[in-house]
A and B are shown apart, each in its own frame.
Chain A
């Protein structure tokens, strides 16, 4: 790949990136969130089309404008979100979209699939339905699917994020088999120990720019981190001392099961204090969402769970379990940013700022008619104070940029004078400037005596912003540590090991 450039609106996702992928080699692509790794690979697999630059495969310049083009060039990508049809069998998913006239011979497909499995050491039953498969089986199926199409270049986008350590080892074994067979493999991962473990070469991206590549044997995690973060982006966030901390929210033995009855949050016990920011760290899907939603009254909790809210001044205690979200909100407990889908649960995309303000206050007026005036005044205030870039307060928020949507949401929650403010992935997808605005707003709230629960994915930010950090690991709290004294490595260890003290020793 030579001088590849891709922009999304004003955001430059890849800026003149040049990268070489060699046969019989495992290349790790490393970079912080939003550094453009996935975008770069998506251009190889035909999901996006580059705005500039050239791609060469085996020395020939090629144009990849669709996933089909990529298949034909022997490039296959295994996405973070699996592209499989749930009600189809493994074999049906594998032949999906392949050219082939007339009869579909699934027996023949099954035979070929077994051949591939034997060659690389996979374990796939061609007749199993995808909806009956585990996550790791689905991933294996995705890899087999790509190999069935004759791929020589395999791209795996954060394949280990969803796997257990044992499954990861199995995957790496298979990857080494494929390498021995002369395939070129690119793996995108955040976990440095995996990079060191499996790859031959590491390429680093930072903010859409190609920093350089090194042979894995010549480097160590520290050097890689330096390359990844760089000096220029050193974050500096204020952490004012907590003001008169008092217990505000006591969570006891909080257990949440998902629809299938799997425990996703188990026996969480902690206290949230006023005037402090409690950060929550953990690999995504470790129970963060369930934790916030359980407190906000959006999740069913298991018997024995208690969420106790302690009213300021009077010290009166309320059990929030079993109350509906509206009552919880009236007590002053506010869930602001909702992960994954900002517009899904937080705001109504097709309504303007005014309408979205009204969502929280429509019950306040008298009589059957709503009063738009207070809401439109609030919308105007937020627009001015937080510098929301919008053509007007009645302009659909769906069409605003992510950062502006976020400002509208946080502005509304703060305006409601919360005593507890919960935020999840508040700065996901936001640029540095907006991120800092959000941090500043959170610190302002903290100094006003609000208890802030901040779920974040960037450890550096958590370490600088949070007074205490609660670390989740696979649905359990592996510890609560002091934000000022703990190190990133220690938090990272706690994220992956429940009994981290032993692992450390």
Chain B
């Protein structure tokens, strides 16, 4: 491969990786509270469509839409809509103690349905399939540093992205610091490891679970927003791509061993593995699909290796279990 090809592969991997990095960071925070939210794909859908819809409505209701306002509106809407998805999950699993797996899978189906319904409607409003475009808002997300266009391909592969690529990395570092270096983070981890212990130590388990799940979902939803605004440049397609990415985000959580920092390079690695087929000569459609499975195979390999080596790295101990104080 030439260096230009390498640069192009890295670029594809970083953009792809950023989508799932948001999904994974949000899900790690959720899972640290012991909630296994398999609704990540649905939540990313909700974030994506909410951001797009609000930007579209704003751009079409004002004669000269402000970039700043359209950014704030779309970013906020995406986070809130996704957090709302997390709230649905929280109410069902924490307060009503419905099975988490069932709830999560249902949320995935629900989010996809809602998003594709409104996505289709927006396209219709915009004049037909594939017609929707929020170019102005999207340009905010895709704005790069000045002078990037004159850089070498390799420099571009490092610096030539919209701000959300870097925000994801900052979020990963912040999340790591929060989980390991703050009282609140310690308490949150305790809730996911042993809610009974946390309860006895005076921690409000329900509150922690709710907040972690809703904020985590909000962050996951930003992945959907990034996909819509940057990856497909402010358009919408009912093609199920977000769902694929959502499941990769769930796999990335496991691959990263529930550590946000691992999710950064892990997500780029997933991106490289996912796009590798494009750069390998002589693949037909069938063998391409085999290459696209690589991220999942790597995840399984990591799981096997980790489970042989150290059990305690296998995620929060009470992951997937609902908690209620036991009365005699």
Which A positions have Cβ atoms within 8 angstroms of B? 8, 47, 66-68, 71, 79, 83-88, 92, 95-104, 131
Contact A102 B312, beta carbon cutoff 8 Å:
no
B187: chain A residues within 8 A (beta carbon): 96-97
Tell which of A66, A86, A102 touches B193, judged by Cβ atoms closer than 8 Å: A86
Subset of 24 A-B contacts with CB under 8 Å: A67-B201, A83-B196, A83-B197, A83-B200, A83-B201, A84-B197, A85-B190, A85-B193, A85-B194, A85-B198, A86-B193, A86-B312, A86-B317, A87-B312, A88-B189, A96-B186, A96-B197, A97-B190, A97-B201, A98-B201, A100-B183, A104-B181, A104-B185, A131-B312
Tell which of A47, A85, A86, A102 touches B183, judged by Cβ atoms closer than 8 Å: A102
Within 8 A of A (CB), among B184-237: 185-187, 189-190, 193-194, 196-203
Tell which of A92, A97, A103 touches B202, judged by Cβ atoms closer than 8 Å: A97
Contact B317 A95, beta carbon cutoff 8 Å:
no
* Chain B nearest Cβ from A213, distance in angstroms: 26
CB within 8 Å for A67 and B181 given contacts A86-B193, A95-B186? no
B201: chain A residues within 8 A (beta carbon): 67, 83, 96-98
B5 within 8 A of A: no
B185: chain A residues within 8 A (beta carbon): 104
Contact A104 B193, beta carbon cutoff 8 Å:
no
CB within 8 Å for A96 and B181 given contacts A85-B194, A87-B193, A104-B186? no
- Taking residues whose C-beta sits less than 8 angstroms from the other chain, chain B's interface range is 20 to 34
B186: chain A residues within 8 A (beta carbon): 88, 92, 95-96, 104
What 6 new A-B contacts, CB under 8 Å, besides A86-B312, A87-B312, A100-B183?
A71-B202, A83-B196, A85-B190, A85-B194, A95-B186, A97-B203
| A364–B152 CA distance with the chains assembled, in angstroms | 77
| A79–B201 CA distance with the chains assembled, in angstroms | 12
Contact A95 B183, beta carbon cutoff 8 Å:
yes
**Which 6 pairs of residues, A with B, have the shortest CB-CB distance?**
A97-B201, A68-B202, A100-B183, A83-B197, A97-B202, A83-B200
Contact B196 A98, beta carbon cutoff 8 Å:
no
B244 within 8 A of A: no
Contact B193 A96, beta carbon cutoff 8 Å:
no
Of chain A, the residue at the smallest CB distance from B185 is: A104
| A92–B194 CA distance with the chains assembled, in angstroms | 13
A103: chain B residues within 8 A (beta carbon): 181-182
| A103–B181 CA distance with the chains assembled, in angstroms | 6
B328 within 8 A of A: yes
| A221–B317 CA distance with the chains assembled, in angstroms | 44
| A86–B197 CA distance with the chains assembled, in angstroms | 10
| A104–B196 CA distance with the chains assembled, in angstroms | 22
Contact B197 A85, beta carbon cutoff 8 Å:
yes
Contact A96 B182, beta carbon cutoff 8 Å:
no
B317: chain A residues within 8 A (beta carbon): 86-87
A47: chain B residues within 8 A (beta carbon): 200
B200: chain A residues within 8 A (beta carbon): 47, 67, 79, 83
Contact A88 B182, beta carbon cutoff 8 Å:
no
CB within 8 Å for A104 and B183 given contacts A67-B201, A67-B202? yes
| A44–B32 CA distance with the chains assembled, in angstroms | 31
* Chain A nearest Cβ from B295, distance in angstroms: 27
CB within 8 Å for A96 and B190 given contacts A8-B328, A67-B201, A104-B183? yes
* Chain A nearest Cβ from B326, distance in angstroms: 10
B194: chain A residues within 8 A (beta carbon): 83-86
Within 8 A of A (CB), among B313-328: 317, 328
* Chain A nearest Cβ from B239, distance in angstroms: 41
Report B297-325 CB contacts with A as 1/0, cut-off 8 Å.
00000000000000010000100000000
A85: chain B residues within 8 A (beta carbon): 189-190, 193-194, 197-198
Contact A102 B190, beta carbon cutoff 8 Å:
no
B199: chain A residues within 8 A (beta carbon): 67
* Chain A nearest Cβ from B207, distance in angstroms: 12
| A350–B118 CA distance with the chains assembled, in angstroms | 42
* Chain A nearest Cβ from B204, distance in angstroms: 9
Within 8 A of A (CB), among B232-255: none
A67: chain B residues within 8 A (beta carbon): 199-202
CB within 8 Å for A98 and B183 given contacts A68-B202, A131-B312? yes
| A370–B181 CA distance with the chains assembled, in angstroms | 58
B198: chain A residues within 8 A (beta carbon): 85, 96-97
Most buried by A among B193, B196, B199, B202: B202
| A100–B193 CA distance with the chains assembled, in angstroms | 20
Of chain A, the residue at the smallest CB distance from B183 is: A100
| A131–B194 CA distance with the chains assembled, in angstroms | 13
Report B264-307 CB contacts with A as 1/0, cut-off 8 Å.
00000000000000000000000000000000000000000000
| A79–B312 CA distance with the chains assembled, in angstroms | 24
CB within 8 Å for A96 and B312 given contacts A83-B197, A87-B317, A101-B183? no
* Chain A nearest Cβ from B195, distance in angstroms: 10
* Chain B nearest Cβ from A130, distance in angstroms: 10
| A104–B312 CA distance with the chains assembled, in angstroms | 22
| A92–B193 CA distance with the chains assembled, in angstroms | 13
B196: chain A residues within 8 A (beta carbon): 83
Of chain B, the residue at the smallest CB distance from A98 is: B183
Report B169-184 CB contacts with A as 1/0, cut-off 8 Å.
0000000000001110
* Chain A nearest Cβ from B117, distance in angstroms: 38
Of chain B, the residue at the smallest CB distance from A45 is: B200
B193: chain A residues within 8 A (beta carbon): 85-88
* Chain A nearest Cβ from B327, distance in angstroms: 8
Of chain B, the residue at the smallest CB distance from A47 is: B200
Most buried by A among B186, B194, B197: B186
* Chain B nearest Cβ from A31, distance in angstroms: 17
| A103–B317 CA distance with the chains assembled, in angstroms | 25
* Chain A nearest Cβ from B273, distance in angstroms: 30
Most buried by A among B181, B183, B196: B183
Contact B203 A96, beta carbon cutoff 8 Å:
yes
Of chain B, the residue at the smallest CB distance from A94 is: B201
| A71–B317 CA distance with the chains assembled, in angstroms | 26
Most buried by A among B181, B196, B312, B328: B328
A104: chain B residues within 8 A (beta carbon): 181-183, 185-186
